[in-house]
């Protein structure tokens, strides 16, 4: 009796990478790619339509980042497992992904046999985490930023001025400046742009 293949959904905004990954995984007789999307805000609709067993999500995608998409999927479909597969091996991303419910986190330069095995292990209910990132995450500790400070820095990273950030978050300009000042102190930087870039590099936003 032939067992049912593990159904996979791939989400990556780089079409070439996504198609190559699909071709690689489809070579395995026990794996089947049933859906592909190129945006984070397309993930949940595709999950509802195709009912995958495992979602392989990139972190940085348009529309919604992969970590937010992971949280949406795991909250509504706890039987669907999520494996983050990303170029950006940042310890902060790992911590945020696990908090969002991801069952695994690997980088894209992982050897093909290890990626295939990671998919199988995640489907089996196990957790798979890049060991180097796991060590760096433990040594680095959690993000020191509050949720509001992280929001303010994301907008600062987009180049929004203080008044624009205040309007989008329904805060006073003075409150925004206070959050930026706190974030600058926590990141050990001098300007809001430097703070935003430092937070991004560490995976805090």
pLDDT at 158: 87
Rounded Cα gap, residues 107 and 88, in angstroms: 7
For 191, the domain range is 147-201
Residue 82 lies in a domain: yes
Question: In this structure, are 108 and 29 located in the same domain?
Answer: yes
Report the domain count for the chain: 2
Of the candidates 137, 160, 26, 151, the one whose C-alpha atom is nearest the C-alpha of residue 91 is: 137
Question: In this structure, are 104 and 152 located in the same domain?
Answer: no
Q: Could you report the per-residue pLDDT of 32-65, keeping only the tens digit for each? A: 999 999 999 999 999 999 999 999 999 989 999 9
Question: In this structure, are 69 and 119 located in the same domain?
Answer: yes
Average pLDDT over residues 21-33: 95
Domain endpoint, select from 91, 122, 139: 139
Output 72 or 92, whichever has higher pLDDT.
72
Rounded Cα gap, residues 80 and 11, in angstroms: 14
Question: Could you tell me the CATH number of the domain that includes residue 170?
Answer: 1.10.10.10
The CA distances from residue 3 to 29, 30, 34, in Å, are: 10, 8, 16
pLDDT at 198: 86
Residue 170 lies in a domain: yes
Q: Could you report the per-residue pLDDT of 72-85, keeping only the tens digit for each? A: 999 999 999 999 99
Residue 1 lies in a domain: no
Question: In this structure, are 133 and 151 located in the same domain?
Answer: no
Pairing of β 104-107 and β 128-129: parallel
């Amino acid at each position: 009796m032939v067992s049912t293949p593990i159904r996979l959904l791939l989400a990556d905004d780089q079409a070439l990478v996504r198609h190559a990954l699909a071709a690689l995984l489809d070579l395995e007789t026990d794996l089947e790619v049933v859906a592909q999307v190129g945006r984070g805000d397309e993930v949940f609709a595709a999950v509802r339509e195709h009912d995958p067993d495992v979602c392989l999500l990139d972190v940085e995608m348009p529309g919604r980042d992969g970590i937010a998409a992971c949280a949406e999927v795991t909250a509504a479909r706890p039987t669907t497992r999520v494996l983050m597969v990303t170029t950006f091996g940042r310890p902060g991303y790992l911590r945020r992904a696990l908090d969002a419910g991801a069952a695994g986190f690997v980088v894209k330069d992982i050897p093909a046999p290890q990626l295939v095995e990671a998919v199988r292990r995640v489907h089996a209910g196990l957790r798979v985490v890049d060991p180097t990132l796991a060590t760096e995450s433990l040594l680095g500790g959690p993000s020191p930023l509050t949720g509001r400070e992280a929001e303010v820095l994301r907008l600062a990273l987009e180049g929004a001025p203080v008044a624009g950030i205040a309007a989008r978050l329904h805060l006073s300009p003075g409150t925004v400046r206070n959050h930026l000042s706190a974030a600058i102190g926590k990141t050990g930087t001098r300007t809001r742009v430097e703070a935003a870039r430092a937070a991004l590099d560490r995976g805090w936003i």
